[in-house]
Structure 1
Amino acid sequence: METAAAGTAASAAERALDAAERLFYQQGIQSVGMDRIRAESGLSLKRLYQLFPAKERLVEAYLERRDARWRRDLAEHVERHEDPERRILAIFDWLGEWFAAPDFHGCAWINAYGELGATSDPVARQVRLHKTAFKEYVTDLAARADLPESLGEQVFLLAEGAMATAAITGTPAPATQASRAARLLITATRRP
């Protein structure tokens, strides 16, 4: 009996998160109320608040879940390449594909921070956790390519700038431009 109840709760939470992610990412967090999440998820408002006692908690859960998927998808793409330097540049290939997707609305964490970072410590914490994990991943790729940590930090900043610029311009071109800049950094670092 407990297993069925846990499964039902998990299913309801997934439905709520699916609706929240779709709406928050497309329309912005502040413009979407809990009643809209309720309508999209098919859950009662009472059930929604049982699962997520406050909208802020739903936003945290949305960012946590999206983070796990985003970082997993990026790593799967990058790890297809054997050459350590190519792995670094593969970040930008993946970003370019993401930027070109018809449902691309910018970086969910930059967007969330812009909307709530100054007023919500839990949301700001989720954004910082995501950005720190991404930065550590990039600096680890640099280390595996026998490149300095500072190069990884610079590549991270190029990727972050590409994300913000792609959202504003509505074009995937910033990924290509950032990739070229990363290649120049790698070449300059390798030069004796």
Structure 2
Amino acid sequence: MATATLPAPTKGDRRPVRERLLASADELFYGEGINNVGIDRILEHAGVAKASLYSTFGSKDELVRAYLEHRHSTRRARIERHLAGKRSPRERLLSVFDAQAEALAQPGFRGCAFLMANAEQPGESRGKPVCDEYRAWIRALFVRLVKDTGARRAEALARQLLLVYDGATVAAQMDGQGAEAIAAARATAAALLDAATKA
């Protein structure tokens, strides 16, 4: 399974149609690409009729939007869970990289779902606003967490840390060495943060 955030449908699956369709989309879109997976593949994988897809989502574009919204929700929950376990502003910021390590360690990791979707979908697609919303959220998160540390030039440092975060994801995808990539990213983030918070 390609790091699906929902269990893949199985024969005789009794989950609601919406959940089965979303689970199929999650696995197939993430694993093979949005443009490579047609409606018929999703229907067969989910074990539902075509009418069910259209009555539930209305179109493939709406299913893509729902898939990306679910990915955003899952990523946000993972990061917030890691943040909740830390007290100091420094550890809270670095815990974002711990959450990333958890994602990169999942079997079938293929990279950032939002980066892949953004590359595949034209600007007017239904998924583009979700990618933009995710991107705005992660940028704002880094800015807020950096400001909480009292670091100098917080917005500039947040941009640098986001580049480190993005770079770790790309390195893990391209090199297949997620543990090394995230360890290097976390160490780089810590060094940048420490340099910006020294008196």
TM superposition score normalised by structure 2: 0.85
1:32 and 2:37 matched? yes
Which residue in the other structure is 1:91 paired with? 96
1:163 and 2:180 matched? no
Deviates more, 1:132-141 or 1:89-98: 89-98
CA contact (8 A) 2:149 2:197 kept: no
Query: How far apart, CA to CA, are the structure 2 residues paired with 1:171 and 1:99?
Result: 9
1:151 and 2:170 matched? no
% of aligned pairs identical? Answer: 30
Q: 1:106 aligns with which of 89, 103, 111?
A: 111
Shift of 1:119: 4.8
Query: How far apart, CA to CA, are the structure 1 residues paired with 2:88 and 2:176?
Result: 31
SS at match of 1:122: coil
Q: 2:120 aligns with which of 115, 118, 126?
A: 115
Letter in 2 for 1:143: K
Q: Deviation digits for residues 55-76 of structure 1, max 9, x if unmatched? A: 1111011001111111011110
Shift of 1:121: 3.5
Which residue in the other structure is 1:5 paired with? none
Which residue in the other structure is 2:183 paired with? 176
Shift of 1:11: 2.2
Q: Deviation digits for residues 126-148 of structure 1, max 9, x if unmatched? A: 11110111111121111222222
CA contact (8 A) 2:68 2:130 kept: yes
Structure 1: runs of 5 or more not aligned = 1-9
Query: How far apart, CA to CA, are the structure 2 residues paired with 1:149 and 1:80?
Result: 24
CA contact (8 A) 2:61 2:125 kept: no
Which residue in the other structure is 2:4 paired with? none
Shift of 1:120: 3.6
Shift of 1:122: 2.4
Deviating beyond 4 angstroms after TM superposition, the runs of 4 or more aligned structure 1 residues are: none
Query: How far apart, CA to CA, are the structure 1 residues paired with 2:127 and 2:181?
Result: 27
Query: How far apart, CA to CA, are the structure 2 residues paired with 1:52 and 1:120?
Result: 18
Letter in 2 for 1:106: G
Q: 2:143 aligns with which of 139, 143, 154?
A: 139
Deviates more, 1:144-153 or 1:50-59: 144-153
More helix by share: 1
SS at match of 2:16: helix
